[in-house]
Amino acid sequence: MSKTNQRLARMLSALVISTGLLSAEAIAADSAVEQGKAIAFDRKKGNCLGCHAIEGGKLPGTIGPPLIAMKARYPDKAKLRAQIYDATKANPYTPMPPFGKHKALSDKEIDLITEFVHTL
């Protein structure tokens, strides 16, 4: 977790304590999405922007489709995760790297990216 994220988490928990508006569950979910975003945008990790346009990302590549309406495209989150884990299963000729199968990302990292991408 980056320093900014840690600071953000501390600020958020302070906010929760002071206002009592957010449940602990909501914070956990938010931070998973934020962590997933960081991994997705990291050039050495997911590097999703290499090929996909994603809201909040600059100069995206054009090889893959823009990541929008993901809940409509993948009502089943497990199917989205499977696609990130090994896209060659659905299409052996895909240029999308099999991130999980080739261990470019850990299972945990793929879980977090899935959480993030599913919000898009």
Partner 1 sequence: MRKYFSVLLAASLTLGVTTVSADNHGSINNKDAKALADYFDKKFPGVTTNDLVNGAYALDESLFMQFEAQEEFPRYEDFVAQGEEFYNTPFKNGKGFADCFGNDTSSIRPRYPHWDKKKQTVVTLEGDINKCLTDNGEKPLGWKKGMMAYVSGYLSMEARGKTINVVVPNDPKAIEAYNKGKSHFYRKRGQLNLSCADCHVYQAGMYVRADLLSPTVGHVTHFPVFRQKWAGGSDKDDGLGTLHRRYGGCNKQVRAKPFKAQSEEYRNLEFFHASMSNGLKFNGPAYRK
Q: Which residue's CB is nearer to partner 1, number 36 or number 97?
A: 97
Q: Smallest Cα–Cα separation from 9: which of 21, 27, 26, 22?
A: 27
- The answer to whether 54 and 48 have CB atoms below 8 angstroms apart is yes
Is residue 42 a contact point for partner 1 (CB under 8 A)?
A: no
Q: Smallest Cα–Cα separation from 35: which of 25, 46, 24?
A: 46
Is residue 41 a contact point for partner 1 (CB under 8 A)?
A: no
3-class DSSP state of 119: coil
Closest contact distance (angstroms) between CB of 14 and partner 1 is 37
36 residue type, one letter: G
Is residue 44 a contact point for partner 1 (CB under 8 A)?
A: no
Question: Computed from CA positions of residues 11, 14, 18, 23, in that sequence, does the dihedral angle turn out positive or negative?
Answer: positive
Is residue 59 a contact point for partner 1 (CB under 8 A)?
A: yes
Closest contact distance (angstroms) between CB of 99 and partner 1 is 9
Site for partner 1 in 86-115 (CB under 8 A): 88, 93, 95, 97-98, 102-104
- Give me the residues that bind partner 1 (CB under 8 A), please: 49-51, 59-63, 88, 93, 95, 97-98, 102-104
